[in-house]
Structures are given as structure tokens and as C-alpha cells.
Chain A
Amino acid sequence: MSTVQLNNLNKKYSDVEALKQFSLEIQSGELFTLLGPSGCGKTTLLRTIAGFNRQDSGTINIDGIGIDNLPAFRRDIGMVFQDYAIFPHMSVEDNIAFGLRNRNVSRQEIKSRVADALETVQLSGLEKRMPNELSGGQQQRVGLARALVIQPKILLMDEPLSNLDAKLRIELREDIRKIQKKLGTTTIYVTHDQEEALVISDRLCIMRSGQMVQVGTPWEIYKKPADHFVASFVGNMNFFPWPFAGLDFHDLKVPTVIEDLPAKTNVGNESEKLIVGIRPEDVLISNSTAKLKSQVIHLKGTIKNISFSGREAQIHVKLIDGNQLVAHITRPGERLLDEIGKTVQLELPHKSIMFFNNKSGLRR
């Protein structure tokens, strides 16, 4: 169990800054995820920690000790690769034993530790198989066992599930989390899949253009996004300008506490223009004649489109001013599609509404 500190890391590729003054502390035993769009620097960061490329400046400490001058093969860091990187010329057993043999572990111990590792990843009995006799999911389990069996100080995982099909991805990500919790190995996990990141992580770091945007628990990231970028990258979000352009305020049926919203106080102030965000699942749809509630903004609109995906449906509603809002409903009813064209009332509870600065994108 080890901690990792990254201090002011910088890395430049020709003219692209892959890492800019990047600092981060990862706790012992934590499953920590780096999440961001492609090109945000997350893979660069992971490979820098692994020692496959070297930062231009800044330091990396494991348990307070600098590892910057250690070559990759002395770092004692396990790594799981996106394309599995299983040695195709070695059996499952030899793949897993590879790291132990480099560490001069005794034959007997290798045998028992390989067996343990195989059991951990539920591949017992496949010792003698060659990689080409394994499915993608099994190969990645071998990759995980191979990285864990050396009892690394930290474990790095570079999009380990992105080459697997959807069902397997869900199955394996749950296993990865279970195994990680059981062994307590400090783990840094890279992915661009926001749902995977939320499910698997203890904490996660959202990255953009080589910089950290927000670090927090999955709940914090989802419910309290630091800015417009995080809010739109993690989960879905409706955005529209505030106040609503071209919308008469008398159409905006806000029976109570409009005073509490920044909208009223800041109308017209150019530098403080705001964007309103609300998650589709927080938007409620009611009959256009339903009673008005307190602490809720009521908006009228017409249902333009409905996309039904089984357990849920997305209702696209066009507001009077032309803006579109999406509402998420679960367990849609049978007559759902008949609703297209109907006028409905949208309920936006005050507590679910987020405000972002139009310019900086920061959340207020």
C-alpha cells in the first residue's frame, strides 16, 4: 500500500503541452481514476508514472521517495494495458510468472503465487493455455494477474476494458473493483468512459488539455461539477442561457422564491451572464394544467421527439423561446410515442439547478 505524489509535472510533445504543472496526491489503497477526453494527457501521465516517458520537469514520489531517476523496470509498478500485451509466445502460467522470475523468487513460491493470482482472477485451470486460446476478457484477466502477482507498490491500468464488448466490460470492471478492494493495491486507472469511471473509482480526476479540472468522489463530480466542462463531460446536462432570451418573464411561471436565484439579481450584467444547467433526470414532466409547486421553475413547451431505450426514455421538449430541454423518464409507458406534439409543463426544482459563469465556465 503506497501513496503517490505528483508535483508540478510538465511534459511537452513538439508543440503540444501534454501535462501542465500537474500536481496530485493519491491515497494509499485508493482506486483513483484519470478521466478525460482523448488527448487530455491522461495516458501521458500514466506512462510517465510507469517510466515509459520522462517528464520535462516536476517530480513523482512513491511513499515520499522520488522515483524520477529509476528506469521503468526498477519502479515496481504493475501495469495493465489496453491491448492486453500478453506475451504471445508464453503460456498463461509463464506470462504470470514472468515478473516473479525477474525478481529471483524461488520456484516453489512462484508456483503458489501464480496459482493464487489465477484464482484471484478466476482463471484457475487455464495455466497451460496459450494466449491465442483465450478470449479477450480472459487475456485481460491474465494481464491483471500478471501485474498483481509481483505485488507492485502501485497498479496502473490504461483503459483496460476499452477493447472488450459491453457486457464483458461491466462484468470485468466489477471484478477489478472487487479484487482491488480485497488486495488494497493503490491503483491509478485511466479511462475515457465516464460511466465506467464513476462506477469503479474511489476518487477521480477530470483532466483537460494536460491540466486537472476537478478531483473528487464520483458523487462530488456528478453532483457538484466544478465547471461547465465537467458538467457536460460527466453525464448529460441541459444547458440554456439565463435569463431566457426572448422569453417573456410572465411565461416563466415561478410562483415563489425567484429572489433566491441569481438570475434576478444579475440580469443584464454582461460580465456575469450565466448558463443554467440541469440534469435530464432532474427535469420532471407534468400535465400542462398541473398545479404549480413552490421551489420549482415551471416552463411550458411542446414535445418534439422521444427516444425510447428500454429502461428509460429521453423526452425532447421545445420551449417557447426555441431552446430545447431533455427530460429523462424511467419506466416509460406504452403510449409514450403518442405524446409527441403535446404541450407539457416542465418542472425544474431549484435544488437541482446549477449555474455556470458564461465566460469562465465555473460553477457558482
Chain B
Amino acid sequence: MKHLIYSLNNIWTIVIFLAFVIVGLLLIFPLYNIFVASFLDNETGVFTLQNYTNILGRRYYRTAIYNSVIVGLSSMVGALIIGIPLAFFTTRFNIKGKSLISTLAILALVSPPFIGAYAWITMLGSNGWLRLGLESMGIFMPTIYGPLGIILVFSLKFYPFVFLLTAGAIRTINVSLEEAAESLGCRPFSKFMRVTLPIIFPAVSTGALLAFVLSLADFGTPSIIGRNFRVLSTLAYNLFTSELGGNPGLASTVSILLILVSLIFVYIQRRLIRKKDYGSDMLRRPEVKQLSRVSSIPVHALCYLIVFLSSLPSLVVIYNSFRKTSGPVFKSGFGLDSYRRIINDVPDAIFNSFVFSISAVLMIVALGTLIGYTVARKPSILTGFLDSLLMIPYIVPGVVLGLGFIVSFNSKPVVLVGTATIIILVIFVRRLPYSVRSSVSILKQISLGIEEAAISLGASPAKTFLKVTLPLMMPGVFAGAMMAFITAINELSSSIILYVGGTVTMPVRIYLSVLDGEFGTAAALSSILLAATGVAVFAIIHITESDEGVFL
């Protein structure tokens, strides 16, 4: 009998052990190597601060830091300006088609950002149809290239974080507080600014932080439409892959700075929301108010304009994919030219993308569910530590982890560079937290009493897990798997560093095609990615009946 208990405890001990090995090997080790490399001279391999003095001392590099922070902050402000009103209107007023609005916002959120960048080029690039169209009407638009374009793409891309988090918080606020403010003479706008917004500040600022950190980490967008506008992520990539011979020391230093900037902002946000959890058990939910006829039209127009603009890139891409092409040039009329081309020219990219992401997702689900269970149900110093280690992938940009993998697995005994394994592993460790987190959050909704009931009825812990806990966890496990899949198949920033000819994936191919001006190929591949993403989102919404939280 005792034996049985011990052997069961052992399963969870093994899970914890395995998790630490994996996190250590695939996360800590590469980052440690980057950290060390940033202090080494490329030629001699001795300790030096040269890399840091170079980056911080030379204007060329300093500008990149400055640019990254400016773009991150501006995109964050843009996301707030778009996301907060949308959240407020859709939660408090009878907006028609609310679920359509949030579905479109979710689709905008999960579709890859480089598709947005590419689509905006076809609209507002030098020869973009929208720009030329407006020009013929006498309205001169600047091109999408440069910092403003990046900020526009990021704002329209990351506002759903703010929107979904804020909407969730506004929906669960204790409405008595607002009524109290009103009875004390607060006007509606000042009530929102002085009472509502401070109370939901933790949620709003979390959304803002996500927008900032992801803007900072994104590689594709600034690389495609930044032109000469340097940011840290593109700088790290260029320093590493430069045709004049890469500079791993400088690239590592830029990577460390990139992580540092993210960490500083995470820390600031944590400081700001400290002791600001005003969670309330009160169940007086706000009522949905009827809009007057006069205000109804502009409010609806605003809400739909926002989600339309953020879905526009996807629509444009799909539209482009069906246009007739001649070589890289679009012609008038519709056809399947682009699809024929990608099936003939780059079937390996399509195949690789699906194989890599599905393999990674299977590993993620298997391990993530078990880790999630130990974190949620066997709280200890170890599992707590594991849980915080698993936050690391959220703040480490893909470019940085990709660099870390190259530095770490390039020499004996483990040579993985150039293999499919390395791409699968980097996706695996980057997206493992999705599965862990969704398992933990569904376990929080499953009362511990249910497991205890099964045990008191004579089911062994193993049987309880398989027959009771796991079936109840399924919606969360599935949603986590789908989210991992979406992010895996759209992964660009780490694969762009790790791919070789044979392991090219769709996002990498799209990126290369856009750079080469092969817009038809890019559109068709992007459409396939969008379709896969859409199916996964549909599955999450309709099969698991999860709330919007899983997409964050």
C-alpha cells in the first residue's frame, strides 16, 4: 500500500524533474550562453566589456535602443487609445454583433504581425492601391515605411490585448462603486476616469504591458516596413547574420539589452499594480445600457471601424492571393495562379510548417498538462519556482532565443543547428507556457473536492487523474493546444535565425517573398496561415466554449 503511494508521488516528482531539465536545457542554458557571449571578445574569447561600451557608446547602436522604446511606448499608447473605448462601449452599451466584434479582434490578435506589415505595404506602400487611390482624390498619404507605419501596424495588432482584458474587468466591476460616484456628483466621463479606470487599472496595464513587450520583441514588422529604421530586434538579427561576417558578441549584447528593457517595463508595471487588486465578491454586475438613437450610430461606427481596420490586412491578403499574377506582378482578374505557384515551388515550406508545429504541440500538450497539474495541485517551492521560470518565454524575444539556440547547440556533443529538431524544440519551449497556463487556469475552476470525492469513493490517485481530473481539464488542455498551435505555425522570429534551405517554414518563406517582391506567393502562403489560424480559433470558441481569456 505504502509502495503504491510512493510510486505515485514519484510520477509527479519525475514530472517536476523533467520540467526542470527541459527548462534548464532549452531556456536557461541558451540564455546563459548569450549572456556569457555578450561579455566575450569575438576573436580572443577573453572577458571584455567592449561589446557593451560599443553599443552604449556609439550613436548608431544607441539609436536602436531609443527607437525600440519609442516604438514600444507609442504602440502601447495606440493600443490603449483603441482598446479602452472599444471595451467600454461593447460592455456597457447594447452594441449589435458584440461576439462578431470580439471574434474579429481575436482573429486580428492571433494572426501573425508580419502579414499585417505586408498587407499594409500593398495598401500604403510606394505603389499601394489605397495610397494611389487617395492621391488621385488629392489626399496625400505618407507611405507605410518607417516608424509611424510600424506603430500603426502594432497598435492595430496589439489593441485586442487591451480590449479583451479591459472588457473582462469592466464586466466584473462592482457597479455600486460607480453608482456611489454618481450619487456623489461625478459626471459620466469623470466617473470613468476617476473610479472605473483606477479600479480596472491592473487589467488595463497588463494589456498595455503585453502590447509593449510584444512590440519590442517583434522582428518581422520592423524588418519589412522599417527600411532604415533600426530597432533592437532587427539590429540583433543583422549583427548576427551580417554578410560581412556576423558579430555574435554584439548580437548577444543587443539581445541582453532587449531582455533588460522588457524586464524593466515588467517591473514597472508590477510596481504600479502592487496592492491594487480590488477584486470584489460582490455580484452586482453593471447593466448594459440602451444607446439613444443619436449616439447609437457614431458608437457603432467607431466600434466597427476599429475591428474593420484591424481585420483589413487579413482581408487584403486573402484578396491578393486570388489575384492573377504574372511573375511577381499582380494583373487584373482573379485566378489560382499564386496557389499553383506555392504548391509547385514551395511545398516543403507548407509541409514543414504543419509537421513542425504539430510535433511541437504534441510535446507541449503532453508535458504542459502534467506540469500544469503539479503547479496547480502540488504547490511547493519547487513548483512555484518552475512556474516563474515558465514566465521567461513571455519576455524573451524569439530572435534572442533563436540566437541562444545557435550559440548553444552548434558544437559537439549536441549539434542541432540546421536540423528540424532545433526548430521544433525552440517552438516547444517558447509555447510550453500556453499549455501550462491553460491547464493551471482550468484546474482552478475544478474544485479540489471533486478529486477528493473520487478518492473517497475508492479511486486511486492515478485513476482519479485519468477518469475525473483529465476529462474535466480537457477544454483547457485543448484550448492551450490550439493556442500553442496558432503561435507555433505563425512563428517567424526564431525560425528566421534557425532555418536552413530544407527547414524553411511558411512564415520564413513569406518574409523572404515579401523582401523579394513576390507578393502573390506571400499572399497565398499567408492565406493558408490565416486559414489554419482561423480554424484553430473557431475550434477554441466552439468546441471548448472557453472565454476570451484563453487568447491572451
B460 surroundings in chain A (CB, below 8 A): 71, 73
Q: Which listed residue (B1, B449, B452, B458) contacts A150, Cβ 8 A?
A: B458
Tell me the chain A residues, 132-159 only, with Cβ under 8 Å from chain B: 143, 146-147, 150, 156
> A237–B288 Cα gap in the complex (Å)?
49
B8: nearest chain-A partner, CB-CB? A71
B452, B458, B463, B464 interface centre (most CB from chain A within 10 Å)? B458
Classify the secondary structure of A's interface with B.
loop
B382 close to A (CB within 8 Å): no
B1, A69: Cβ atoms closer than 8 Å: yes
Tell me the chain A residues, 55-73 only, with Cβ under 8 Å from chain B: 69-73
A244 close to B (CB within 8 Å): no
B472: nearest chain-A partner, CB-CB? A89
- Interface size of A as a range: 20 to 34
Tell me the chain A residues, 307-335 only, with Cβ under 8 Å from chain B: none
B464: nearest chain-A partner, CB-CB? A73
B455 surroundings in chain A (CB, below 8 A): 51-52, 71-73
B457, A146: Cβ atoms closer than 8 Å: yes
A87 close to B (CB within 8 Å): yes
Closest CB-CB distance, A339 to chain B, in whole Å? 38
B456, A103: Cβ atoms closer than 8 Å: no
Q: Which listed residue (B449, B458, B461, B464) contacts A81, Cβ 8 A?
A: B449
Tell me the chain B residues, 1-42 only, with Cβ under 8 Å from chain A: 1-2, 4-5
B450 close to A (CB within 8 Å): yes
A72: nearest chain-B partner, CB-CB? B455
B452, A79: Cβ atoms closer than 8 Å: yes
A50 close to B (CB within 8 Å): yes
A76 surroundings in chain B (CB, below 8 A): 458
B457 surroundings in chain A (CB, below 8 A): 73, 78, 98-99, 102, 146-147, 150
Q: Which listed residue (A70, A84, A102) contacts B463, Cβ 8 A?
A: A102
B454 surroundings in chain A (CB, below 8 A): 73, 87, 98
B458, A73: Cβ atoms closer than 8 Å: yes
A82 close to B (CB within 8 Å): yes
Given A74-B1, A81-B449, also A87-B456 (CB < 8 A): no
A87, B4: Cβ atoms closer than 8 Å: no
B458, A87: Cβ atoms closer than 8 Å: no
B471 close to A (CB within 8 Å): yes
B458 surroundings in chain A (CB, below 8 A): 73-74, 76, 99, 102-103, 150
B459, A102: Cβ atoms closer than 8 Å: yes
B456, A79: Cβ atoms closer than 8 Å: yes
Q: Which listed residue (B449, B456, B463, B472) contacts A75, Cβ 8 A?
A: B456
B1 surroundings in chain A (CB, below 8 A): 69-71, 74
Closest CB-CB distance, B522 to chain A, in whole Å? 45
Q: Mark B445-481, 1 if CB is under 8 A from A, else 0.
A: 0010110111111111101100010011000000000
A88 close to B (CB within 8 Å): yes
B453 surroundings in chain A (CB, below 8 A): 79, 81, 85-87, 143, 146
B5: nearest chain-A partner, CB-CB? A71
Given A77-B456, A98-B459, also A83-B449 (CB < 8 A): yes
> A137–B455 Cα gap in the complex (Å)?
23
Given A87-B450, A102-B463, also A73-B456 (CB < 8 A): yes
Q: Mark B468-512, 1 if CB is under 8 A from A, else 0.
A: 100110000000000000000000000000000000000000000
A82: nearest chain-B partner, CB-CB? B449
A149: nearest chain-B partner, CB-CB? B457
> A87–B452 Cα gap in the complex (Å)?
11
Tell me the chain A residues, 158-174 only, with Cβ under 8 Å from chain B: none
Given A87-B454, A89-B471, A98-B454, also A73-B449 (CB < 8 A): no
Closest CB-CB distance, B415 to chain A, in whole Å? 47
Q: Which listed residue (A69, A82, A88, A147) contacts B456, Cβ 8 A?
A: A147
A103 surroundings in chain B (CB, below 8 A): 458
A147 surroundings in chain B (CB, below 8 A): 456-457
B471 surroundings in chain A (CB, below 8 A): 89
> A98–B471 Cα gap in the complex (Å)?
14
Closest CB-CB distance, A115 to chain B, in whole Å? 18
> A79–B450 Cα gap in the complex (Å)?
11
A50 surroundings in chain B (CB, below 8 A): 452, 456
> A98–B463 Cα gap in the complex (Å)?
11
> A241–B341 Cα gap in the complex (Å)?
98
Closest CB-CB distance, A224 to chain B, in whole Å? 36
Given A69-B1, A70-B1, A74-B1, also A85-B459 (CB < 8 A): no
Q: Which listed residue (B2, B5, B447, B463) contacts A85, Cβ 8 A?
A: B447
Q: Which listed residue (B4, B468, B472) contacts A71, Cβ 8 A?
A: B4
Tell me the chain A residues, 269-326 only, with Cβ under 8 Å from chain B: none
Q: Mark B425-460, 1 if CB is under 8 A from A, else 0.
A: 000000000000000000000010110111111111
> A69–B455 Cα gap in the complex (Å)?
15
> A88–B453 Cα gap in the complex (Å)?
12
B456: nearest chain-A partner, CB-CB? A79
B5 surroundings in chain A (CB, below 8 A): 71
B461, A83: Cβ atoms closer than 8 Å: no
Given A71-B5, A89-B471, also A83-B447 (CB < 8 A): yes
A73, B461: Cβ atoms closer than 8 Å: yes
B458: nearest chain-A partner, CB-CB? A102
Given A71-B5, A76-B458, A98-B459, also A81-B452 (CB < 8 A): yes
B452: nearest chain-A partner, CB-CB? A52
B449 surroundings in chain A (CB, below 8 A): 81-85
Closest CB-CB distance, B165 to chain A, in whole Å? 27
Q: Mark B55-98, 1 if CB is under 8 A from A, else 0.
A: 00000000000000000000000000000000000000000000
B468: nearest chain-A partner, CB-CB? A87
B463 surroundings in chain A (CB, below 8 A): 102
Closest CB-CB distance, B11 to chain A, in whole Å? 14
A72, A89, A147 interface centre (most CB from chain B within 10 Å)? A72
A77: nearest chain-B partner, CB-CB? B456
A88: nearest chain-B partner, CB-CB? B472
> A257–B461 Cα gap in the complex (Å)?
67
A73, A79, A143 interface centre (most CB from chain B within 10 Å)? A73
A70 surroundings in chain B (CB, below 8 A): 1
A73: nearest chain-B partner, CB-CB? B455
Closest CB-CB distance, B5 to chain A, in whole Å? 5
A52: nearest chain-B partner, CB-CB? B452
Closest CB-CB distance, A238 to chain B, in whole Å? 35
A51, A81, A85, A103 interface centre (most CB from chain B within 10 Å)? A85
> A113–B450 Cα gap in the complex (Å)?
22
> A83–B472 Cα gap in the complex (Å)?
16
A80: nearest chain-B partner, CB-CB? B453
A77 surroundings in chain B (CB, below 8 A): 456
> A86–B459 Cα gap in the complex (Å)?
15
Closest CB-CB distance, A23 to chain B, in whole Å? 24
A72 surroundings in chain B (CB, below 8 A): 452, 455-456
> A82–B472 Cα gap in the complex (Å)?
20
B468 surroundings in chain A (CB, below 8 A): 87
A88 surroundings in chain B (CB, below 8 A): 450, 472
B446: nearest chain-A partner, CB-CB? A88
B474: nearest chain-A partner, CB-CB? A89
A79: nearest chain-B partner, CB-CB? B456
A71 surroundings in chain B (CB, below 8 A): 1, 4-5, 455, 460-461
Closest CB-CB distance, B551 to chain A, in whole Å? 24
B471: nearest chain-A partner, CB-CB? A89
Closest CB-CB distance, B14 to chain A, in whole Å? 19
A96: nearest chain-B partner, CB-CB? B457
Could you list some 8 contacts between A and B, CB below 8 A? A50-B456, A77-B456, A78-B456, A83-B447, A88-B472, A98-B457, A150-B458, A156-B456
13 other A-B residue contacts (CB within 8 Å) besides A81-B449, A146-B457: A51-B456, A52-B455, A69-B1, A71-B455, A72-B456, A77-B456, A78-B457, A83-B449, A85-B447, A86-B450, A98-B454, A102-B459, A103-B458
The 9 closest A-B pairs by CB, nearest first: A99-B457, A85-B449, A102-B458, A85-B453, A81-B449, A79-B456, A73-B455, A72-B455, A85-B450
